[in-house]
């Protein structure tokens, strides 16, 4: 974490500031804070106890400071879950009462006659239960951490081996490259989910958290310095270096001359200050165009041809694939009154055009969090409904991101993962499909029908394949819920602590950004976000999102940004789960093989 980030003050950096606070939230150790736990129980069972009011007030303050749902959320069970960081208990009163009744054989009359001892007994039993749950989860977390480390080492080894093979045999098998790419995407998703759930749960020692965080940030930063450690996570982003020694399509690595420590410091300084340093300007895209494949369509095409022409060792199919990755776009539709959604990154407007067929101008922004970052985004209001804001992201960041921005940035990788599933590059270029603007999936898309038809669409229209996430639509159908609740493929067995569900995402972001989400979170949970699972193993499949909830979500642009990223990741994982099928999904949800 960048301590100087607290200096962020410009409007453009507030998103990053929010994201930074989310990490701070993630460092809270709810499990270690037994007084906190006790206090929560006091809130749960002693609403009328004046002695606890002070503590409740403290909890309220704490909750506001850290973005925790407030006790005045009428759902006390939910509050308890969030403060333990897990959806361990039911939030329905009936289920809660049944839980409490489990430990007592007495009847209601007995409770009336002996209210205090019974309540104490209940508290004690509840405390014991939570402690045991606590202990179990610690064990699970430890196991997950260990598994992750092992997996990461394994992938690193494989990646390194593959890297060496690629260098030895330039015309390596395309599928192998694809495996590397997809592997990196999956690994990235997994990393995010692990970290995200860890952050959400707020469990684990702070030291562990710091180690993990620094490790992750280190990997990200090391990518710029070419450390072999990064080749898993960054294999896709750094691939261009391997493919093209000329650097013509070097999308994410600055030229060696730029990768100095001074530049790193400058980048960080820029991020801390929330503005471009004096004397620093955006690298002209005449450089950028040849340095990345994410500029204008012409630049992309020019870039591709340059790349292919200048690297005789390049596998044309792999080159095309990489081009597709770089050109893949993620479009987000969300209702917002703001001029653009806040996604944690720092943007600079560089152009505005009137697009044909839309009276609303289209604004062009580029990321200014680091010199030469190739990421751009377009923001335009929908012609039909001007309350809908369409934001299209393109490219990959070449710098470490604040958590909030990291979530959104991941959409590109997820999009690439989706777009690259199957055999897209095998001569069946998406340009040939030309189903412009429809919810038509090319045959390489494996999203479940309901998902593609409602929440996310893949457009293979030229010149860029685009994933569109429509948050203006409410996921109310059971199939939608199934999609949103689908367990990520890396969630193993009965352990769901590293799986991420929509409500977890919601709660996570509620907790992450108190200034923005603190009050709204109450509305979210009161307006139909149902967390009605008492069994953690069934948690993911049992959640629904109401129309009111979706409305509340989409009304908040910041919230939308994080949500979109999370949904995209889930969709990407759903895709991975369905990777053995090949289907075409039409707008009405029917599926053809």
Query: Could you give the CA distance from residue 574 to residue 308 in angstroms, rounded to a whole number?
Result: 33
Q: State in angstroms the smallest separation of the CB of 377 from DNA.
A: 9
Taking the least distance from each CB to DNA, the nearer of 211 and 277 is 277
Q: List the one residue from 362, 435, 473, 587 that touches DNA (CB under 7 A).
A: 362
Is there binding between residue 386 and DNA (CB under 7 A)?
no
- Residues forming beta bridges with residue 392, ordered by sequence position: 331, 378
Which letter does DSSP use for residue 472 in this model? T
Taking the least distance from each CB to DNA, the nearer of 10 and 426 is 10
Taking the least distance from each CB to DNA, the nearer of 273 and 587 is 273
Query: Could you give the CA distance from residue 254 to residue 156 in angstroms, rounded to a whole number?
Result: 23
Element (H, E) at 350: strand 347-354
Half-sphere exposure of 47 (CA within 13 A, CB side): 6
Phi, psi of 84 (to 5 degrees): -90, -10
Query: Could you give the CA distance from residue 69 to residue 146 in angstroms, rounded to a whole number?
Result: 31
| Contact between 411 and 393 (Cβ < 8 Å) | yes
Q: State in angstroms the smallest separation of the CB of 465 from DNA.
A: 13
Site for DNA in 408-467 (CB under 7 A): 462-463
Taking the least distance from each CB to DNA, the nearer of 357 and 493 is 357
Query: Could you give the CA distance from residue 253 to residue 247 in angstroms, rounded to a whole number?
Result: 9
Taking the least distance from each CB to DNA, the nearer of 139 and 298 is 298
Closest CA to 23 of 210, 279, 184: 210
Q: State in angstroms the smallest separation of the CB of 328 from DNA.
A: 13
Question: Per-residue contact track with DNA, 249 to 288, x per CB under 7 A?
Answer: --------------------------xxxxxx-x-xxx-x
For the four alpha carbons of 258, 262, 265 and 270, in that order, the dihedral sign comes to negative
Is there binding between residue 555 and DNA (CB under 7 A)?
no
Q: State in angstroms the smallest separation of the CB of 184 from DNA.
A: 25
Query: Could you give the CA distance from residue 367 to residue 570 in angstroms, rounded to a whole number?
Result: 25
Taking the least distance from each CB to DNA, the nearer of 11 and 493 is 11
Residues in contact with DNA, counted by CB under 7 A, come to a total of 39
Is there binding between residue 356 and DNA (CB under 7 A)?
yes
Question: Per-residue contact track with DNA, 323 to 352, x per CB under 7 A?
Answer: -------------------------xxxxx
Q: List the one residue from 133, 302, 495, 591 that touches DNA (CB under 7 A).
A: 302
Is there binding between residue 357 and DNA (CB under 7 A)?
yes
Q: List the one residue from 139, 228, 256, 298 that touches DNA (CB under 7 A).
A: 298
| Contact between 346 and 271 (Cβ < 8 Å) | yes
Taking the least distance from each CB to DNA, the nearer of 331 and 573 is 331
Stretch that binds DNA, among 158-166, 355-363, 543-551, 581-589 (CB under 7 A): 355-363
Length of the chain: 593
Q: State in angstroms the smallest separation of the CB of 276 from DNA.
A: 3
- Residues forming beta bridges with residue 459, ordered by sequence position: 466
Closest CA to 421 of 572, 319, 304: 572
> Is the backbone of residue 215 left (phi > 0), alpha (psi -120 to 50) or beta?
alpha
Query: Could you give the CA distance from residue 165 to residue 177 in angstroms, rounded to a whole number?
Result: 11
Q: List the one residue from 46, 129, 264, 301 that touches DNA (CB under 7 A).
A: 301
Please confirm whether the linkage preceding 266 is cis (ω < 30° from 0).
no
Site of interaction with DNA (CB under 7 A): 10, 12, 275-280, 282, 284-286, 288-289, 294-299, 301-302, 348-353, 355-357, 362-364, 368, 376, 378, 462-463
């Amino acid at each position: 974490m960048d301590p100087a980030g607290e200096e962020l003050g410009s409007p453009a950096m507030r998103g990053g500031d929010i994201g930074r606070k989310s990490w701070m939230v993630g460092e809270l150790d709810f499990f270690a804070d037994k007084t906190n736990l006790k206090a929560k129980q006091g809130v749960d069972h002693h609403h009328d106890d004046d002695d606890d009011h002070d503590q409740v007030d403290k909890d309220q303050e704490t909750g506001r400071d850290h973005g925790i749902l407030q006790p005045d959320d009428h759902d006390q069970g939910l509050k308890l879950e969030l403060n333990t960081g897990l959806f361990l208990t039911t939030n329905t009163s009936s289920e809660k009462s049944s839980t409490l009744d489990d430990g007592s054989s007495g009847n209601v009359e007995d409770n009336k006659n002996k209210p205090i001892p019974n309540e104490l007994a209940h508290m004690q039993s509840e405390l014991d239960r939570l402690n045991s749950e606590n202990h179990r989860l610690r064990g699970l977390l430890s196991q997950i951490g260990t598994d992750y480390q092992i997996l990461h080492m394994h992938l690193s080894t494989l990646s390194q081996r593959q890297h060496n093979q690629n260098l030895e045999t330039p015309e390596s098998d395309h599928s192998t490259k694809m495996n590397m790419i997809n592997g990196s995407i999956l690994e990235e998703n997994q990393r995010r989910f692990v970290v995200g759930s860890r952050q959400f749960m707020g469990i684990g020692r702070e030291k562990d958290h710091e180690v993990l965080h620094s490790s992750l940030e280190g990997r990200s930063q090391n990518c710029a310095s070419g450390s072999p450690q990064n080749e898993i996570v960054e294999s896709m982003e750094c691939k261009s270096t391997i493919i093209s020694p000329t650097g013509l399509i070097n999308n994410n690595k600055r030229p060696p001359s730029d990768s100095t420590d001074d530049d790193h410091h400058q980048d960080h300084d820029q991020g801390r200050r929330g503005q471009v340093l004096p004397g620093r300007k955006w690298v002209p895209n005449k450089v950028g165009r040849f340095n990345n494949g994410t500029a204008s369509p012409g630049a992309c095409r020019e870039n591709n041809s340059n790349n292919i022409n200048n690297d005789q060792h390049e596998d044309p199919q792999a080159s095309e694939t990489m081009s597709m990755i770089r050109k893949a776009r993620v479009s987000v539709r969300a209702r917002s009154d703001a001029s653009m959604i806040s996604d944690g990154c720092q943007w600079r407007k560089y152009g505005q055009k009137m697009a044909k067929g839309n009276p609303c101008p289209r604004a062009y922004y580029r990321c200014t969090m680091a010199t030469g970052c190739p990421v751009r985004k377009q923001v335009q209001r929908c012609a039909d409904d001007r309350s809908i804001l369409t934001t299209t992201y393109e490219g990959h960041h070449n710098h470490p991101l604040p958590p909030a921005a990291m979530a959104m940035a991941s959409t590109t990788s997820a999009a690439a993962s989706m777009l690259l599933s199957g055999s897209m590059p095998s001569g069946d270029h998406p340009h040939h499909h030309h189903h412009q603007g429809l919810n038509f999936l090319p045959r390489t898309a494996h999203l479940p029908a309901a998902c593609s038809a409602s929440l996310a669409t893949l457009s293979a229209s030229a010149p860029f394949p685009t994933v569109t996430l429509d948050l203006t639509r409410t996921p109310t159908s059971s199939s939608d819920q199934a999609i949103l609740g689908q367990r990520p493929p890396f969630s193993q067995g009965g352990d769901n602590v590293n799986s991420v569900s929509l409500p977890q995402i919601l709660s996570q972001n509620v907790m992450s950004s108190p200034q923005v989400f603190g009050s709204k979170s109450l509305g979210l949970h009161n307006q139909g976000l149902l967390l009605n699972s008492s069994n953690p193993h069934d948690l993911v499949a049992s959640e629904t999102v109401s129309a009111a909830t979706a409305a509340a979500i989409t009304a908040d642009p910041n919230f939308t940004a994080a949500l979109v990223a999370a949904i995209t990741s889930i969709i990407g994982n759903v895709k991975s789960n369905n990777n053995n099928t090949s289907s075409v999904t039409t707008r009405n949800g029917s599926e053809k093989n």
